[in-house]
Amino acid sequence: MKTNGVLIAYVLMLMAAIAVSILLITAPASQLLGGSEHAIRSAFHGLFAGIFMVTTTIGLYQAFRLWVGTEINIKELQIGSLINSIICFFTILFGNWIYIPYRSEEGPRSYFLKTTPEIHKIFFEFKEFIALFTLPLLVSATYIIWTYGDHLKENRPLRMTVSLLLMLGFFYFLIAFGLGAAITKLKAV
């Protein structure tokens, strides 16, 4: 007999497959992705950023549990932190790939520098660098969780360190996510 966790995973995968199938059947790809030549990489960046919002929020919840010292499932924490780091990597990878057309002569950067340079200087430059903080913070947390495993339960300073790393990862991501959404609203790539 399968465990409840495995059964839930199968049900979630089935629901996701049904949702994607309905989406692909009913939505024209050009409307779904947009008309830009950078639509696919932008869509993947948005997809991974959306997934990262979910995984990093779960990471924030785990950080809170570590901070207050409630009972934790180390295997759940290990897998969750690893998934969080991987999704963070792909979000940044696609974000950096979008950065190339952003800086092109016809891209949003040129537009903002001509019309409202403070938007580029504050919104994008700040967003660009603050978003990059998330990966080393989350990879560090993942490394500590996987290296120390069950010893986290008894080691309060280590628990607090991991908790702080996860909270800061969430904080920096949230700022980058909000600024990225605002920039896209003002002038898409």
Q: Which backbone phi and psi does 182 adopt, to 5 degrees?
A: -65, -45
pLDDT given for residue 86 in this prediction: 94
Segment 179-182 long-range contacts (CB within 8 Å, at least 24 positions apart): 179/123, 179/124, 179/126, 179/127, 180/49, 180/95, 180/127, 180/131, 182/123
CA gyration radius for the chain?
19
pLDDT given for residue 30 in this prediction: 61
- CB burial class (10 A; 0-12, 13-18, 19+) of residue 72? middle
AA identity, residue 18:
I
- pLDDT digits 0-9 by tens, 89-137: 999 988 888 877 777 777 777 888 888 888 777 777 787 788 889 999 9
pLDDT given for residue 57 in this prediction: 93
pLDDT given for residue 2 in this prediction: 55
Q: What residue ranges of the chain have pLDDT lower than 70? A: 1-5, 27-36, 189
The whole-model pTM stands at 0.79
Q: Are 87 and 55 in contact (CB under 8 A)?
A: yes
Alpha helices in 2-69 (DSSP H): 4-26, 29-33, 39-68
